[in-house]
Amino acid sequence: MRQLPPVVKNILIANIVVFIAQFLFEKQGLPLELWFALWPVQSGNFKVWQLVTHMFMHGGIFHIFFNMFALYMFGAMLEQLWGSKRFFNFYMICGIVAGLAQLFIDPDFDLAVGASGAIMGLLAAFAYLFPNTPLYIMFIPVPVKAKYAIPGLMALDLFGGISRTPGDNIAHWAHLGGAAAGFILVLIWNKTNRNTFY
């Protein structure tokens, strides 16, 4: 367990606290999702703050575990590289753009929760900055370079978003929106301040 930089640590804590609060309020018959999950505009439940708050809510223990594990693995490296302020801005922008992508590209969703859009932005940035880093992926016995593994995940999201099979409750367009935001941001930052990444 390497020492966590402050923004990653605080985001981890915030997500865990909110997840516990979701569980406790649900038991009282007061689902926090009604106010803080991302709802479609036409649902009547949409509020603008949900573009931020949905990033700190999750739909189950595996959902939060995988998102927070990815935040720990990739976010810590990026925060150490960029500094806390730039990392925080990057994370929040990716998450907000993810929510906007879900609202406008797939407006008929039920509701959306999770940090996955922001996490996909981190993955996109990581693949751009550290393309040859070997990643170990479940069920694949050999490491795969980031420049292949992460675009592969995005391709799966694109397929899922286009095919939209029954029972699929994954916000694929939010994932892709976050990834696109992350890629564009890192391209701009690398072009305007090349020394940032060396």
Q: How far apart are CA 69 and CA 79, in angstroms?
A: 15
Helices (H) and strands (E) in the chain, counts: 9, 2
**Using CB atoms within 10 A of its CB, is residue 189 exposed (0-12), middle (13-18) or buried (19+)?**
middle
Alpha-helical runs (H) found in 54-195: 61-70, 76-82, 84-105, 116-129, 146-163, 172-192
Residue pLDDT, tens place only, 7-65:
999 999 999 999 999 999 999 999 999 999 999 999 989 999 999 999 999 999 999 99
- The pTM score is 0.91
pLDDT for 197 equals 42
Hey, which residues are catalytic here?
116, 175
Residue 193's pLDDT band, with cuts at 50, 70 and 90, is: low
CATH classification of 6-192, choosing from 1.20.1540.10, 2.30.38.10, 3.30.70.270, 1.10.620.20? 1.20.1540.10
The strand pairing partners of 135, in sequence order, are 144
